[in-house]
Structure 1
Amino acid sequence: MRVEVDRITSLLTAIYDGEAWHGPSTQEILTGITPEMAVFRPSPTVHNIAELAVHLTNWRIFVLEKLTDSVSFDIILNSEADWSVINELTDDKWQEILDNLQETQEELVETLGRISSHKLNDQVPGRRYNYYTLLHGMLHHEAYHSGQMAHLKKMLV
């Protein structure tokens, strides 16, 4: 039975590049962002759009690793793997960031297509929560940080 996994996949698709109920999808927000816009920082303590996109990608990789039962893969909070510092970008580097985010989206949809809803009750290796919590957390994480990117974009447009 895959009903719940299919629901999660639908939500992931809507949040990333579909019709998200909360507002523009991540892809809608990122459309039209130039490298100069992506590194805009309204204050020294605020993450810019590029950093937020890399952060989303890194945590999507974490989810992918855990979905394949990796015990050893981890991200230490507030480390370089969690938050990269990006102060300047070339066109090519910005495109690479966008491509990496897109690739993790495709990998997540593909990986979710291979798991059953029964796995959602299993504990995530190395964590105190199950896959249901991990996947819903990823959805909330995406919506939260996409909202931050939307606010930064509004400051620029």
Structure 2
Amino acid sequence: MKKRINELIRLLSETFEGEPWYGQSVMRKLENVPYKIGYKTCVPDSHSVAEILGHLIAWKNYVARKLNKDENCQIVIDSNQDWPSIEIKSRDEWENLKRELVAAQSEIYNFLDKIENDNFLDEKVKGKNYTYEYLLRGVIHHDIYHLGQIGLIESQLKRKEQESGVFKA
């Protein structure tokens, strides 16, 4: 039986592309972010929405590799691997970045679909001192945390860019 795995899949999906109780999911929020502000920041030396997406992709890929028991997979916090420098110059680049995010999320779903029972969730992640359930709950929390940042950046830039026509009223 995989009751806990199915619940984690539901939570992952709700947060990423569904309708969570707290507002918009990651993908719904990104539908409202025009590509022309994807590389902009509110505060100098802060991350852009595009960089946050690169960060989410990096960690989703990390989770997928850990689920596949890749003991050697590591991310150095605050490195270029953790926070890739991304600049969006066109709508196509923006759409490609979002597709890359969806693909990374899909890798997690694909893995979990193949698991036959919840016992896997209680196993320790290879090379770590936490379980696969903890890892999966962490990626959900990570999405929610950065969803808040994306919303803040969007609202701040919306005020700044309203007159430029980037945001349609």
Range of TM-score over shorter length: over 0.9
Q: Spell out the pairing of 1:1-157 with structure 2 (5 A cutoff).
A: 1-115=1-115, 116-157=117-158
Secondary structure at the counterpart of residue 76 of structure 2: coil
CA distance in 2, matches of 1:113, 1:36: 36
CA contact (8 A) 1:29 1:153 kept: no
Secondary structure at the counterpart of residue 46 of structure 1: coil
Offset at 1:34?
Answer: 2.4
Offset at 1:40?
Answer: 1.4
Query: Given residue 70 of structure 2, which amino acid in structure 1 is its aligned partner?
Result: S
Percent pairwise identity: 29
Query: Given residue 157 of structure 2, which amino acid in structure 1 is its aligned partner?
Result: L
Asked which structure has the greater CA Rg, the reply is 2
Greater shift in the superposed pair: 142-151 or 112-121:
112-121
Offset at 1:22?
Answer: 1.9
CA contact (8 A) 2:122 2:132 kept: yes
Query: Given residue 147 of structure 2, which amino acid in structure 1 is its aligned partner?
Result: S
Q: TM-score, normalised by structure 1?
A: 0.94
CA distance in 2, matches of 1:136, 1:40: 30
CA distance in 1, matches of 2:105, 2:33: 19
The alignment's C-alpha RMSD in Å is 1.3
CA contact (8 A) 1:55 1:82 kept: yes
Secondary structure at the counterpart of residue 114 of structure 2: coil
How many residue pairs get aligned? The number is 157
Return structure 1 stretches of 4+ with deviation > 3 angstroms.
none
Which blocks of at least 5 consecutive residues in structure 2 are unaligned? 159-169
Query: Given residue 154 of structure 2, which amino acid in structure 1 is its aligned partner?
Result: K
Which blocks of at least 5 consecutive residues in structure 1 are unaligned? none
Corresponding residue of 2:163: none
Query: Given residue 155 of structure 2, which amino acid in structure 1 is its aligned partner?
Result: K
Query: Given residue 19 of structure 2, which amino acid in structure 1 is its aligned partner?
Result: E
Greater shift in the superposed pair: 137-146 or 19-28:
19-28
CA distance in 2, matches of 1:103, 1:148: 22
Offset at 1:88?
Answer: 4.4
CA distance in 2, matches of 1:74, 1:89: 30
Q: TM-score, normalised by structure 2?
A: 0.88
CA contact (8 A) 2:42 2:157 kept: no
Rate the CA distance shift 1:52–1:81 in 2: closer, same or farther, 3 A. Answer: same
